[in-house]
Amino acid sequence: MNDNLPTVWDAEPHTVAKHGILKKYLQAWMAILARQSALLPQGSKSILYVDGFAGPGVYKGGEDGSPIVAIRTAVDHTGNLPVPVRFLFVELEPARFGALQQQLAKLQPMIQASSVLT
């Protein structure tokens, strides 16, 4: 699929609004999913968050992309998440994937310090 966008592009107003909704959604549902996952009798007791069109993780103006919004929401979660959260980011465009890897590398100290992320 060719979407004709550059590697990093301007965040449209609807995208910024979408990321605000995503953050609120994850703040609520991470706690619910974590509690339910902790009750499982066996298997992997964790949450797996998948972003199927992850993008570069950042916009031209420095705004966080959806993968970074999701990670920051998990790390900053005010409730007790009794199971870890794992992340899988899918991005097929090589330059965007490289940009996403750079953004994730910047978060490594925060990720490693978190007891929530794996």
Whether the per-residue pLDDT at 36 is higher than 80: the answer is yes
Give the three-class secondary structure for 49: strand
Buried b (16+ CB within 10 A) or exposed e, 3-42: eeeeebeebeeebeeebeeebeebeeebbebbeebeeeee
pLDDT digits (tens, 9 = 90+) for 106-116: 999 988 888 77
Residues in CB range of 102: below 8 A, 6 or more apart? 57
Whether the per-residue pLDDT at 29 is higher than 60: the answer is yes
How many Å apart are CA 7 and CA 29, to the nearest integer?
31
pLDDT digits (tens, 9 = 90+) for 55-86: 999 999 999 999 999 999 999 887 778 888 89
Residue whose token pair is 């974590």: 34
pTM of the model: 0.89
